[in-house]
Structure 1
Amino acid sequence: MAVPKPGRRANRPKRQPARRILVVTEGTRTEPQYVEGLNRYLRSAGATAVVKSIPVGKDPMEVVQKCIEIRDRASIDEKAYDICICLVDVDRHAALPAACRLAGNESIHLPVSNLKFEAWLRWHVEDKRSALSTSQLDALTAKHGLVIKKILAPNFPFDAVHNACEIARRADPQLAAGRVGPDPSSAMPVLVDFMTGR
C-alpha cells in the first residue's frame, strides 16, 4: 500500500478556479454598489466568482462597446474573463435593440431591466408586479430604505436575492439575457446564476 509523502494530504480534492465575471453597468452608483454587495454576500455563502464591476453611465450601446473593449484588453493581458455581462435598463433608450444584437454577436450576456434596475431592487422586499413610472420606482425604493439618492442602503437585504429571482421568473417566464421582458421585469437572475455557479 502506497504511503503518502510527508507534507501532502492523501486524496485532497482539487479546488476549482473561480470564474472571472466582468459586469459593465449603465448606472454609475446603484448598479455597481449592488453588484459588489451581492458578490460579497454570495462569496460569504460559498460562491466562488470573482466579479469586476465597471460603471459606464451611457446608453446601452456604449455599455456593450465598453464591455468589448475591456474584455479584449484583458484577453491580450492573459487575464481573460470567463463571462461578460452588461446591465442595462429599457428606460427610453432607442439604442437598446442594436445593443442587444451587438451583445449577442459578441457572446456578451445582456440582462435588461424594464422599466429600470429599481424594479429588481423592489423584489428584494415585496412581491408586487405593478408597472410604475421612474419617479414612482424611485419613491418606492426610498420608502423601503433600499436606495437613497442613488446610493444603495448599507443594510440592503442581499439575503432576499433568491426570493427576488423567483419573483422575476414569475414576472417573465421567458426571462433571458438580451430580451426585453414586460413592464416590470428584470433578467438579473441570469447574473445571479453565473455568480452562484449554476
Structure 2
Amino acid sequence: MAKSASSSQRRRRSPRNLVKRILVVSEGEQTEPQYVERLASFLRSKESSTHVKWVGVGKDPLKVVRKCIELREDAANKEKGYDICVSLVDVDQHALLDAACALARKEQIYLLVTNLKFEMWLRWHVEDSRSVLNSSKLDELVTKLGIIKGKALPASFPIEKVDAACNVARIADPNLDICRVGPDPSSSMPVLVDLLRGER
C-alpha cells in the first residue's frame, strides 16, 4: 500500500486556489492579446495565470465590459472562476466610455483605458515622449519605430522595457487608476503589470 503524504509534504504543495486567475478581455483582436500574452510570459509570475480573450464587437467599450462579465459568469458556472477580470479599451471617439466605466465599477471589473489608444502605451516602451498625436499620426509613428507591423507585434518588440513604459505612464498621469479616463496621452496599463506581478 502506498504511504500517504506526510503533513510537511502537504504543506509544501502550493494549493491551486492560491494562484490568481486573471481574465483579460480586449476590443482589439491582435495587438492587445499578443501584447498581454507576451507580457504575462515575460513577467512569469507564480502568483497568477492569465487568460486573454478578444471581443469581436468593433470599437465599443461597453460591449467589451459586458463580454468580460459574460465570460466571468460562464467560468464561475463551470467552477473555473476568475479572481480578477480586466477589460482593455481605448478612448478614440467612444461615446459609450462613461457608461462602460460606470458598469465596470458596479461589476468590479478592472477597466483600463488608454488615451488616445493602445499604440501610445506601446510607444512608451521605446521613447519617453508625451506629445499629443491624433490616431493616424500615432499609427505612422509606431510603424516608423518598428514596434508594430500592421496590427501585429514583431518578434523584436521590446517587452523587457515595460518598466520604462510604466514610468512614463505614471508621469503622464500621476492619478492613473481603473475605470477612469486620463489625459491625452495616458494609459492605466501599469495596473495590469502590477496585477500580473501579484502586486495588487
Q: Do these two structures clear the TM 0.5 threshold for a shared fold by scoring above it?
A: yes
Q: Distance in 2 between matches of 1:15 and 1:6?
A: 17
Report how far residue 74 of structure 1 moved: 0.4
Query: RMSD between aligned alpha carbons?
Result: 1.8
State whether residues 88 and 112 of structure 1, in contact with CA within 8 Å, keep that contact through their aligned partners in structure 2: yes
2:183 aligns with 182
Matched, 1:49 2:48: yes
Q: Alignment partner of 1:22: what SS? A: strand
Q: Alignment partner of 2:69: what SS? A: helix
State whether residues 21 and 82 of structure 1, in contact with CA within 8 Å, keep that contact through their aligned partners in structure 2: yes
State whether residues 47 and 195 of structure 1, in contact with CA within 8 Å, keep that contact through their aligned partners in structure 2: no
Show the 5 A alignment for 1:133-144.
133-144=134-145
Q: Distance in 2 between matches of 1:162 and 1:9?
A: 41
1:60 aligns with 61
Query: Structure 1, residues 67-119: CA drift from partner, whole Å, max 9, x if none?
Result: 01000010010000000000000000100000000000000010100000001
Report how far residue 154 of structure 1 moved: 1.1
1:115 aligns with 116
Query: Structure 1, residues 2-35: CA drift from partner, whole Å, max 9, x if none?
Result: xxx9976958645363210000001111001100
In the alignment of these two chains, the number of paired residues is 192
Q: Distance in 2 between matches of 1:34 and 1:102?
A: 25
TM-score scaled to structure 1, two decimals? 0.91
Q: Distance in 1 between matches of 2:83 and 2:142?
A: 33
Unaligned runs of 5+ residues in structure 1 are none
Query: Structure 1, residues 123-181: CA drift from partner, whole Å, max 9, x if none?
Result: 00010000011111111111111101111111211111111111101100000011100
Q: Distance in 1 between matches of 2:145 and 2:7?
A: 51
1:55 aligned partner, one-letter code: W
1:160 aligns with 161
Tell me the percent identity. Answer: 54
1:29 aligns with 30
Matched, 1:92 2:93: yes
1:91 aligned partner, one-letter code: D
Q: Alignment partner of 1:86: what SS? A: strand
Matched, 1:103 2:110: no
Deviates more, 1:30-39 or 1:11-20: 11-20
Q: Distance in 1 between matches of 2:102 and 2:4?
A: 56
State whether residues 21 and 49 of structure 1, in contact with CA within 8 Å, keep that contact through their aligned partners in structure 2: yes
1:67 aligned partner, one-letter code: C
Unaligned runs of 5+ residues in structure 2 are none
1:191 aligns with 192
Report how far residue 50 of structure 1 moved: 1.0
Q: Alignment partner of 2:25: what SS? A: strand
Q: Distance in 1 between matches of 2:132 and 2:89?
A: 18
Q: Distance in 2 between matches of 1:120 and 1:15?
A: 34
Change (3 A) 1:164 1:6: same
Query: Structure 1, residues 48-74: CA drift from partner, whole Å, max 9, x if none?
Result: 321111111430010001001000010
Q: Distance in 2 between matches of 1:142 and 1:159?
A: 19
Change (3 A) 1:14 1:134: same
